Amino acid sequence: MAFLADRLDRIKPSPTIAVTMKARELKAQGRDIIGLGAGEPDFDTPENIKQAAIKAINSGDTKYTNVDGTDALKKAIIAKFKRENNLDYKIDQITVGTGGKQVLYNALVATVNPGDEVIIPAPYWVSYPDIVHLAEGTPVAVECGQNHQFKLQPEMLEAAITPKTKWLILNSPSNPTGAAYTAQELRALADVLLRHPHVWVLTDDMYEHLVYDNFKFATIAEVEPKLYDRTLTMNGVSKSYCMTGWRIGYAGGPTNLIKAIAKIQSQSTSNPSSISQAAAVEALNGPQDFIAKHNVSFKERRDMVVEMLNKAKGLHCHKPEGAFYVYPSCAGAIGKTTPEGKKIATDDDFVTYLLESEGVAAVQGSAFGLSPHFRISYATSTEALKDACTRIIRACEKLT
Ligand code: PLP
């Protein structure tokens, strides 16, 4: 009898974490590496948030809390949903988990039966299909190419829905492409969903605040209130508030689903850290002005990266609305040969070539379900980004 469970064979380790580890390892060996794999802001957690955590420690706020979050944090989340999304939730409609990832995991494990289908627009965040696999469901990837600005089109959604469809996962702005849906685009998807009342929507709004050029963020339950009773609106403090290590994510949704999520959490991790929850209350209720300041930097970096990458031979880079990623096509590099005589057959080969020849660590598009592309995170200094893009241009120039 094998020691390890069969379910382990259904999933793979996160490829984005693998790239970051590989870049770290090469750096430790003394190589000059620029890591563009990380999915976290390079800014520090704001001071007022850190102070709230210190206060929580000093005042003994260090014990178990409600399994799915303190009342104080749930109230701050209710206020946030009302203020920013015009969504009304009661306290028993809110759940807090150890990061957005846990909320998503719990929601899928609590609802997906073997054979249930989950529609995932591709390219997608790497964890969606693997979590669906763990839950014994079937991920149904729908390819949304650069010709559609990487966004799911209503007719593609209509074609993907079957009687077995349980969820549609939406992620706007998106990891890995930065693409964000306008209210009008969500409206068109909502019209399809209204015709299929058995399909629920899990909307991952983790990058809500990271949008540029006056783009107006919208979320589907706000756009179509008739979907409110079958939508889980997920969000978190990791990205907008530079709190990836604090591990707080949350969601609002129908009471029966929220209860089911708490049941899973009660038999796995119990409550998220009491100290991080106190910090998240301050994040949501405190000053928000630093977000706009960070966005000025992110926008400048995005513009520079897109401009430089579009100068690279064989690459084409779409300018996205938000998040801190770009997802250039490397179709023009496929079939070419490196100076060492290696053929570039896939985007995996292309990112390996970038790493080996120029020390630039990016993530291959195959990891996100749409090739031939690669993902660059521009949540790093402008100086490092400029250097990285110069190296990429040079690497592309050398391909024959
Ligand atoms: N959703 C998306 C699209 C993400 O990119 C990430 C993190 O990379 C998460 C969810 C998870 O966020 P958290 O760190 O809060 O678990």
pLDDT tens figures, 28-78: 999 999 999 888 899 999 999 999 999 999 999 999 999 999 999 999 999
Residue 84: per-residue pLDDT: 98
pLDDT at 12: 81
> Distance of CA 5 to CAs 9, 11, 358, 373, Å?
8, 11, 40, 33
> Residue 137: what pLDDT?
97
Domain regions of the chain by residue span: 6-44+290-397, 63-285
Whether the Cβ atoms of residue 121 and residue 98 lie closer than 8 Å to each other: no
Separation CA 180–CA 207 (nearest Å):
9
The finding on whether 206 has its CB within 6 A of some atom of ligand 1 is yes
| % of residues, the chain, pLDDT over 70 | 100
Ligand 1 mean position, distance from CA 101 (Å): 6
- C-alpha of residue 239 to centroid of ligand 1, in Å: 8
pLDDT at residue 21 in the model:
80
Give pLDDT, residue 65: 98
Look at residue 85 in the predicted model and tell me its pLDDT. 98
Residue 255: predicted pLDDT = 98
Which residue's CA is minimally distant from atom 5 of ligand 1? 175
Residues 6+ positions from 265 with CB-CB distance below 8 Å: 67, 68, 95, 97, 102, 106, 271
Do strands 231-236 and 200-204 pair parallel, antiparallel, or not at all (unpaired)? Answer: parallel
pLDDT of residue 19: 77
d(CA 373, CA 371): 5
Q: How far apart are CA 249 and CA 337, in angstroms?
A: 44
ipTM of the complex, rounded to two decimals: 0.99
Closest atom of ligand 1 relative to the 103 alpha carbon: 16
CATH of 6-44+290-397, one of 3.20.20.80, 3.90.1150.10, 3.40.1160.10, 3.40.50.300: 3.90.1150.10
Report phi then psi at 253, rounded to 5. -175, -175
236 lines ligand 1 (CB under 6 A): yes
Kindly state if the Cβ of 173 falls inside 6 Å of ligand 1: no
**How far away, in angstroms, is 241 Cα from ligand 1 center?**
13
Ligand 1 close to Cβ of residue 250 (< 6 A): no
Question: Is the shortest distance between the CB of 244 and ligand 1 below 6 Å?
Answer: yes
CATH 1.20.20.10 assigned to domain 63-285? The reply is no
Token pair in block for residue 57? 């420690």
For the Cβ of 101 lying below 6 angstroms from any atom of ligand 1, the answer is yes
Structure tokens at 320: 């996205």
- Residue segments in the chain with a per-residue pLDDT below the cut of 70: none
Question: Contact 299/378 with Cβ under 8 angstroms?
Answer: no
What residue has token string 């009773």?
Answer: 229
Could you identify the atom of ligand 1 that is nearest to the CA of residue 236?
15
